[in-house]
Structure formats: structure tokens, C-alpha cells
Amino acid sequence: MELLIVTGMSGAGKSHTANVLEDMGYYCVDNIPPLIIPSFLDLSYRGENPLKQVAIVTDIRGGEMFSALEEVLSRLKEQGIEYKIVFLDAATDVLVRRYKENRRKHPLSNTAESIENAVGIERERLNSIRLLADFVIDTSHISLSQLKGKLSAILSKDINDTMSVEFKSFGFKYGSDSEADLLFDVRCLPNPFYIEELKSKTGLDKQVRDYVLESEESKAFLEKLLAFVEYALPLYAKEGKSGLIVSFGCTGGKHRSVTFAETFCEYFKGKKYNCHTSHRDIIKG
């Protein structure tokens, strides 16, 4: 059985994630208390047609029962049951805005003075689970279609069953990338924004990529970063990391960062890694 444990911050998109996973063929169960998970899995294995793909959503809505999640996960490992944890997250101000716009009640609102306070308490309680996660998806700046693309990418397997690597671009003017495992600032490189014929283009265009990478400084920068990441990826895989996010940030997230994300993805695809790109801010301004 392919088992996913979906958890994370309230309002970060777990329900949307469950819908996407259902479309991908997973049998999804929402808001299940952790202590019931072993019994549910036992039932899932039985019969002539046992479930092959299962996604279990469990979170702070379970109240005190949710505190047993780490213990249950430890028990599953002892029993040889393999699973992956997908953790949905978002910036605090984004979560607060979503609750206010939807006029929904936060699960911890009865014990907190405000939504902001409730989100802070929840984040603190979930920190240890977040550290255990195989995949952390920050939904602060992505659409539903982008969420679907992320899930499809991280859950796919290539012919060598290698670690999934996402090469991501973003613009610092819209905030840093909180979900990055490795983050590189490429604002030190030539900026096509100041070239009139390149300003409206992006790093997906050959002219922009050629401009960004043509200087000797850029070539040396690229060579050293490629060498570092190529050295680091097997180490992450050796430690059991299932998914890795390598982010590149420039000012607006449209030219230099996109160029590097695309260049890295092409290079590592040639090395047979299961990798893809995403561009958080490419359409912003």
C-alpha cells in the first residue's frame, strides 16, 4: 500500500489536497483521530481487493486526540508500514486572511484570544510534525492548479525511483520562500529587467537566459552552484529525504531566478533525477 499522512496548518489547503489526491486515485479519509489509523489500515489490507493508495488527513481538529500522532507514526514504522507525510503550510498573515474572508472558525478559537493567536499556538504544536514531514508545501502564493501540479510531481516516480527535486524561482520583493530546503540568492547576477527588449520577457525565453548566463561571473557562479547541489543531492537521498526544494530568488522572480531554476532542472534531468520546476512569482508585474 502507498500510504500518505496529510496534515498541517488549518486553512493551508488540506481539504483541497484531499480532493486532488482523490482525483489521482487515492482513497482519502478526512479528520481521522491518529489512534484509529492502525485499525483503519488493518481493515484496508483485508479482502480480495485491498486498497493500494490511501491518504489520511489528520490535524488539530482532533483536539487532544491529535497529540497521539507521533506515537502512532512511530508504531507504524516499528510494524514495517511505510508512509510519507505531506505537511501543508502557509504564512501566518495568509492563514489569518483566509479565515477572515471565509468567516470560518479556527479549531483553536475557543482557547485563543484572536485568530492570530490561534494560528501561533497551532504552529507551535505542529512544529515537531513539520520536521518529520517528507514534503512541505507552502500554499501562501499558489493556485489550486499549481497545488495539483506540485502533488503530481512529488508523488511521481521515475525509472530509478530517485528523490523528487523541485527547482523553484521566486522574487524577494514578494517575500522569501519558506518551504525551501536549499535557497540561493541570484540577485548578484546581471539583471535583464534593465534591458528594454528583455524587460517584458521571462527566464523561460532563450534571450533572457542567454543574457543572464553570458558573463564570466555568471558562468562561474553557475558552475560552482551546480557542483554543490550535485554533491548535496545524494546526501539528502541517503538520509531518506523523499522530496527536496531548491529555490532561487531574484528581485522580481521573473528573470534570473527562473533562468537558474530551468537550467538546474535541465541539468539534473540529464542525471536521471525526478525533477521539475515551479515559478512562484513569474506572472507578478
Are 151 and 173 members of one domain?
no
Are 208 and 129 members of one domain?
no
Are 140 and 16 members of one domain?
yes
Element (H, E) at 225: helix 216-238
Are 177 and 237 members of one domain?
yes
Q: Is the pTM of this model over 0.85?
A: no
CB of 8 closer than 8 Å to CB of 61? no
Range of the domain at 55: 2-155
Give the integer Cα–Cα distance in Å for 217 and 74.
48
- Residue 163: the pLDDT is 74
Among positive and negative, which fits the CA dihedral 250, 256, 258, 259? negative
Specify the number of domains making up the chain.
2
**Residue 61 Cα distances to 31, 58, 224, 273, 284, angstroms:** 7, 8, 46, 37, 35
Last residue of a domain, one of 155, 173, 202: 155
User: Given a cut of 60, is residue 22 above it in pLDDT?
Assistant: yes
Are 75 and 26 members of one domain?
yes
pLDDT in tens, 212-264: 999 999 999 999 999 999 999 988 877 767 789 999 999 999 999 999 999 99
